């Protein structure tokens, strides 16, 4: 009885060259995206352009309210549908409400926060028919009127929690400051290792106390 023989065929050189070129192009695209955020800027610009809303009379059939999240729960946004039902049962009516575009409604249903200009303070405001304020939840909140009023310790704490690179001058002005690629990669590896039960070291780096502010800002 003869043993089976295995025959291996070496792929042609053209295939190696093709794979090398494809890998090089993909690597260049990744590096270019990390430095300039070019692809995500086009994608996000498209979604932002199509995510619109209009203010219309009466209740809206397309508005989507948030259901969870500490910010939405603390400010009462998640309880708006319940507030609306309770007020309508007492004889109140909805005079105006936002109409979401189809894409904005889909994004909101996914749990993604819709793009909007976030106010410095938020909260329930109750006014009379003449426009006089009866209750304003945001009136008693303490706010910083300028960046220079923020204590440096708070700035450094936020930089350490959010993104340590925000206090440094970017290498490319087109770079998206929201994404910190090395920290995201480290978090992904740490999460995968924890799920697999592998030991992983704890980051004990000290915060960057030399950063004087967030890009164009300054702590004096």
Mean pLDDT value of segment 52-59 = 91
Write down the pLDDT at residue 215.
Answer: 43
Q: Which run of H or of E encompasses 210?
A: none
Quote the radius of gyration of the chain (alpha carbons, Å): 26
CA 29 to chain centre: 23
Distance, CA of 67 to CA of 38 (rounded, Å): 33
pLDDT single digits (tens) 111-160: 888 777 777 677 778 888 888 888 887 666 677 878 888 888 988 888 87
Write down the pLDDT at residue 158.
Answer: 82
| Residues facing 207 on adjacent strands | none
Distance, CA of 194 to CA of 183 (rounded, Å): 16
pLDDT single digits (tens) 176-196: 777 777 777 888 888 888 878
Structure tokens given for 121:
């303070």
Q: Which run of H or of E encompasses 100?
A: strand 96-100
pLDDT single digits (tens) 69-79: 787 887 788 88
- The mean pLDDT of the chain is 78
């Amino acid at each position: 009885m003869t043993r089976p023989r295995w025959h291996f065929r070496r792929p042609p050189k053209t295939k190696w060259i093709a794979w090398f070129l494809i890998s090089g192009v993909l690597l260049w695209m990744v590096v270019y995206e990390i430095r300039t955020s070019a692809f995500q800027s086009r994608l996000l610009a498209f979604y932002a352009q199509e995510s619109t809303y209009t203010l219309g009379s009466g209740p809206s059939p397309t508005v989507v309210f948030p259901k969870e999240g500490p910010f939405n729960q603390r400010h009462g946004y998640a309880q708006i549908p319940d507030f609306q039902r309770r007020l309508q049962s007492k004889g109140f009516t909805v005079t105006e409400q936002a109409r979401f575009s189809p894409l904005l409604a889909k994004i909101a249903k996914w749990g993604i926060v819709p793009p909007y200009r976030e106010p410095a303070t938020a909260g329930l405001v109750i006014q009379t028919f003449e426009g006089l304020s009866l209750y304003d939840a945001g009136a008693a909140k303490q706010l910083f009127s300028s960046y220079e009023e923020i204590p440096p310790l708070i700035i450094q704490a936020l930089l350490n929690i959010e993104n340590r690179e925000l206090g440094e001058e970017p290498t490319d002005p087109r770079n998206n400051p929201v994404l910190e690629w090395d920290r995201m990669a480290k978090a992904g590896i740490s999460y995968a290792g924890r799920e697999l039960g592998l030991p992983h070291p704890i980051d004990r780096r000290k915060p960057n106390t030399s950063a004087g502010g967030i890009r164009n800002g300054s702590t004096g």
